[in-house]
Structure 1
Amino acid sequence: MGSGKSTTMRLNAKHLQEAGQPALPVHERTEPHPVRATDELEHWFEPWRDATPQHLADRALARWQAFVEATQVETSIPVMDGQLFHGDLTHLLLMDAESALIFDYVQALAAVTAPLNPFVLYLWQEDVEKAVRTVCAERGAQWIEYQVNWKLAAPYCVRKGYKGLEGLILLYRDYRRITDDLFRQLPLAKLAIENTARDWPAYESQILRELRLPG
């Protein structure tokens, strides 16, 4: 949350377009979303009420497969905001999915998307507590209450006994440990950027070099 996903997505799409490559920015809140597996659930923000982790993972992979097939016949390059580790993977964690299921899901997702030759950008910050407290301060008490009431009611957080803002911080520490491991093992072209300093011009230059795009 607040790591710069949307900002970076828009910048990447802009640079692709300026380089003569048609780009399609896909924000995480796009409706309908091409790959988000919770969209058709009655309680899309509480998927544990309608589905098992395995059902959600299978549905997500099916949607990704359909997306890949559709993209292969299009000319636009989709630039997605947070759909590999954010979105459905966050829901799998909240649903208290087994670690093996999460790992298998991401490996299968990498295999499904491989024909598109994807590039994965992983934004992270060393101090999870500071990162969470910073975005909470920026977005205010109402947003904090929403996040706490929603996420800490999930089966994973209930089992862990996480409460309040401190519980939200603990959740994201757990989440970061998982996504760090998943990113290390991801068999795709990838780049990790530690962006605590918020030096966006430097990060932008680094990304453009990796994508071989003019700065």
Structure 2
Amino acid sequence: MDTRLILVEGCPGSGKSSTAQFLGRQLQRAGHSCRWYYEEERPHPLAALKGIDRSKGYREFGTAALIRWRDFVRRARRSKEITIVESHFFQNLITPLLRANVKPERIGKVVHKMAEFVTPLRPMMVYLHQPDYATTMRRILDERGARIEHYIRLSENSAYGKRHGLEGFDGLVQSWVDTRTLMEQLIEDLEFPSLSIDNSAGNWSAYLEQIGEFLSTPFQPGPALSADALTAYAGTYTYRSNTAPRRAAGTTRFGRMNVNRRVGGLPRSVALHHQKEVEFTISVKQGELVLRDYGWLWPTNRLIPIDKDIFDIRSWPFQLHFEREAGEIVAATRQSETTRWQITGQRYPRLAGMTDT
């Protein structure tokens, strides 16, 4: 593989995070050193809004984005690591600028300059899209619950939303359709390789095979577990306030350890959950483990096996590590291999087994 930068783009709900996570695992299995930057993790080297005075609106936003991409490329050129970045080349740049009524031509100039900056990394882009975006948004509404109301308010209250009379769910869909149109116009102008995939049918095995061919990287399947093996993890788990949270030291982007660094701006003593006790369940559904009602994650999250008793939480930069005693699962611990965005190391005792499938 020749590239050192893989960009994964598309509108919300397109599958960017799960695709980026999958790519990271596959590159690791192929022997590559790589780092996936989850869209919302903090600190993020490409989060352009950081440090900008909101009272000035978005006049500084494009400049801040260019500075961050320039600095990011300077650091990345000194490393042999492959970086996977989702959302920050298109979505998280175009969306706030378009909402602020910045002309598409001006947005295009910023993107083209960013493309110049990343050229030394020989970038490649995977772009995921759905022609019927309203259907995608309805699925997001079902999966992500009340959080969608936040995005509706952002759309309605933006300068762009007020100018175009965008209201409610339909207005939110239209704002993203307009964003998608600009993304697709810009893709045609990019001088580095890109792959556009309409993933409306949900045939992810075929899509991932396409991506593997595009990246010239043969994908290797992860561990396959039988229904009986999966059932061993099913049950109700709890987080108790007297289980002291701790932070994994983690590894920085270039491999240096820093155990003293604060996580997401939170001191060591702040627990992940503010409730005194939180329960969540893990069950088997259609041959997969499903995590439900875990704190601030989506209401339903798939678990993907990556090693013995270790599962990725699909589309999140976290893993669940399960503990056994006398062969039985007794607890799970949330860990992260890369990010310090949230406190990790919480231990979740297993309260009861569950056989529902």
Q: TM-score, normalised by structure 2?
A: 0.56
The answer for the alignment partner of 2:71 in structure 1 is 66
The answer for the alignment partner of 1:4 in structure 2 is 15
Deviations 1:76-108 (A, max 9, x none): 111111111111221111111111101111111
Structure 2 Cα separation of the partners of residues 57 and 51 of structure 1: 11
Normalized per residue, which structure has more strand?
A: 2
The answer for the alignment partner of 1:94 in structure 2 is 99
Q: Among 26, 50, 54, which residue is 1:15 paired with?
A: 26
Structure 1 Cα separation of the partners of residues 108 and 175 of structure 2: 18
Q: Conserved in 1, the CA contact under 8 Å of 2:46 and 2:68?
A: yes
The answer for the alignment partner of 1:204 in structure 2 is 208
Structure 2: gaps (5+ residues): 1-11, 220-357
Normalized per residue, which structure has more helix?
A: 1
The answer for the alignment partner of 2:110 in structure 1 is 105
Identity of matched residues, %: 30
Residue correspondences, number: 208
Structure 2 Cα separation of the partners of residues 67 and 199 of structure 1: 34
The answer for the alignment partner of 1:131 in structure 2 is 136
Q: CA deviation at 1:130?
A: 1.5
The answer for the alignment partner of 2:154 in structure 1 is 150
1:87 aligns to what SS in structure 2? Answer: helix
Q: CA deviation at 1:42?
A: 5.2
Structure 1 Cα separation of the partners of residues 20 and 53 of structure 2: 29
Structure 1: gaps (5+ residues): 44-48
The answer for the alignment partner of 1:51 in structure 2 is 57
Structure 2 Cα separation of the partners of residues 135 and 97 of structure 1: 27
Structure 1 Cα separation of the partners of residues 118 and 164 of structure 2: 33
Q: Conserved in 2, the CA contact under 8 Å of 1:23 and 1:79?
A: yes
Q: TM-score, normalised by structure 1?
A: 0.92
Q: Among 103, 118, 123, which residue is 1:118 paired with?
A: 123
The answer for the alignment partner of 1:46 in structure 2 is none
Which amino acid counterpart does residue 126 of structure 2 have in structure 1?
Answer: L
Q: Conserved in 2, the CA contact under 8 Å of 1:37 and 1:59?
A: yes
Which amino acid counterpart does residue 133 of structure 1 have in structure 2?
Answer: R
Structure 2 Cα separation of the partners of residues 147 and 58 of structure 1: 25
Structure 2 Cα separation of the partners of residues 133 and 180 of structure 1: 22
The answer for the alignment partner of 1:183 in structure 2 is 187
2:36 aligns to what SS in structure 1? Answer: strand
Q: CA deviation at 1:10?
A: 0.7
Structure 2 Cα separation of the partners of residues 89 and 171 of structure 1: 11
Give the superposed CA RMSD: 1.3
Does 1:30 find its partner at 2:36? no
Within 5 Å, which residues of 2 pair with 1:167-178? 167-178=171-182
Which amino acid counterpart does residue 65 of structure 2 have in structure 1?
Answer: A
Which amino acid counterpart does residue 8 of structure 1 have in structure 2?
Answer: T
1:20 aligns to what SS in structure 2? Answer: coil
Structure 2 Cα separation of the partners of residues 193 and 10 of structure 1: 17
Structure 2 Cα separation of the partners of residues 116 and 213 of structure 1: 17
Higher RCO (CA-CA < 8 Å; seq separation 6+): 1
Q: CA deviation at 1:171?
A: 0.7
Greater Rg over alpha carbons, structure: 2
Structure 1 Cα separation of the partners of residues 162 and 190 of structure 2: 29
Q: CA deviation at 1:151?
A: 2.5
1:213 aligns to what SS in structure 2? Answer: coil
